[in-house]
Amino acid sequence: MQVIKITPRGYCQGVTHALRLVKDTIRNHPDEPIYLLGMIVNNQLVNQALLQKNVSLLDNSKTKEEWLDTIDDGIIVISAHGVKPALSEKIRQKGLKVVDATCQYVAYGQKLVLSYLAEGYEVLYIGEKDHPEAQAVVGIAPRRIRLITNAQQLSELGPLNEKLLVTTQTTMNYQTIDELFTLIKQNYPQALILDEICSATRRRQQALYDLNEALDLLLVVGDPSSNNANKLLEIGRHKAIPRVELLSCVADLATIDLRDIKKVGVTSAASTPTYLTDQVIKYLQDHPRGKIPSLDLKQVL
């Protein structure tokens, strides 16, 4: 079996920054309760590894506001996806310590939207409905920011403000976004369009679009909640690769039939630890029909 290692893959700068901040917080505040306000990055194994270090994850069983109502002391870690300004203000009003791990590109996108709202613009934000980054941006001003997820929604909008800003979640499929931009330009020529897909997302997607290998199988190592991973899956399917699979770690290979696979490509999401992808690659190279190695959560961080 030939293994094609698609690069770049793995952590982006924003994820590296967020994890460094949370690990520093754990090390520097061993006696204080630490709460992750949602998944620090979209990878469940990373969050499981952090939970082993006595960090509490404030999950989706309650809203972020409801979780904050239950906390009176300790350190709140804002994830790489950011939060809406009102939530940041609530944390400060409660007197809680804050570690803001928001990705710099995500933070820039929020500031951009805020600045144009202040100038009277209406905003179309292209993103995923349930993604925390999109929720944070739309939450800035729900009556003035419309979340767009597909072309059908665009066709149903009707007339919009002459001052119209169009911008994006950082982890979207850039070719799909370009198609939506074309429709927006046709229907709303007054629109100011600002593409905020981050460079790390674009490079990972471009590497897959440019791949000329005739793969039998594409493996995307990443979490099901990762928009970055799901867009790589979309691209693999668009390229008509015979089989495209998402796996969170090497253990998932037990469910994938590798017989008759002569050439496999491996890539990974921007929130996937190198350790997880390396385990997959090593197994495919050395032991394609051998025992699948165990996962060491300590190595994930």
In this predicted model, what pLDDT tens digit does every residue of 66-117 receive, in sequence order? 999 999 999 999 999 999 999 999 999 999 999 999 999 999 999 999 999 9
- The pLDDT-based confidence of 290 (bands split at 50, 70, 90) is confident
What is the average pLDDT score of the chain? 95
DSSP state of 150: S
Let me know if residue 127 belongs to a domain.
yes
How far is residue 214's CA from residue 246's CA, in Å, rounded to a whole number?
A: 19
pLDDT at 288 over 70: no
> Both 192 and 110 in a single domain?
yes
pLDDT of residue 291: 85
Is 191 within a domain? yes
Tell whether 121 and 84 lie within a shared domain. no
Whether residue 77 is found in the same domain as residue 151? no
The b/e string for 251-286 (b: 16+ C-beta within 10 A; e otherwise) is: eebeeeeeeebeebbbbbbbbbbebbbbbbbebbee
pLDDT at residue number 135: 95
Token digits of residue 257: 């039939």
In a domain, residue 206? The reply is no
CATH code of the domain containing 169? 3.40.1010.20
pLDDT at residue 182 tops 90: yes
Q: What is the distance between the alpha carbons of residues 240 and 228, in angstroms, rounded to a whole number?
A: 19
Which of 147, 170, 197 corresponds to the end of one domain?
197
- Domain final residue, candidates 103, 134, 155: 103
Q: Are 64 and 134 contained in the same domain?
A: no
Instruction: Please state which of the ranges 7-16, 231-240, 283-292 shows the lowest mean pLDDT.
Output: 283-292
Enumerate the active-site residues. 133
Residues 7 and 45 in one domain: no
CATH number at residue 64: 3.40.50.11270
Q: Tell me, what's the pLDDT at 129? A: 93
Task: Classify residue 279: in a domain, yes or no.
Answer: yes
Model pLDDT for residues 254-269, shown as the tens digit of each residue: 999 998 999 999 999 9
- Look at residue 202 and tell me if it is in a domain: no
Report residue 240's pLDDT band, with 50, 70 and 90 as the boundaries: very high
- Spatial distance between the Cα atoms of 259 and 275, rounded to a whole number of angstroms: 25
Asked if residue 204 belongs to a domain, the reply is no
Residue 262 confidence (pLDDT): 94
> Can you give the pLDDT at residue 286?
87
> Cα separation of 220 and 276, whole Å?
11
DSSP string, 269-297: -TTS-HHHHHHHHHHHHH-TTSPPPPP-H
Question: Of 197, 227, 242, at which residue does a domain stop?
Answer: 197
Q: Is 205 within the bounds of a domain? A: no
Are residues 113 and 177 both part of a single domain?
Answer: yes
Same domain, residue pair 189 and 238? no
CA geometry: angle 130, 135, 137, nearest 5 deg: 145
The total domain count for the chain is 3
Q: Is residue 262 part of a domain?
A: yes
- Dig out the tokens for 126 from the structure: 């292209």
Q: Is the pLDDT of residue 54 over 90?
A: no
Residues 109 and 193 in one domain: yes
Same domain, 90 and 164: no
Task: Give residue 20's pLDDT band: very low, low, confident or very high (50, 70, 90).
Answer: very high
Same domain membership, residue 191 and residue 113:
yes
Q: Which domain holds residue 132?
A: 105-197
pLDDT at 190 over 80: yes
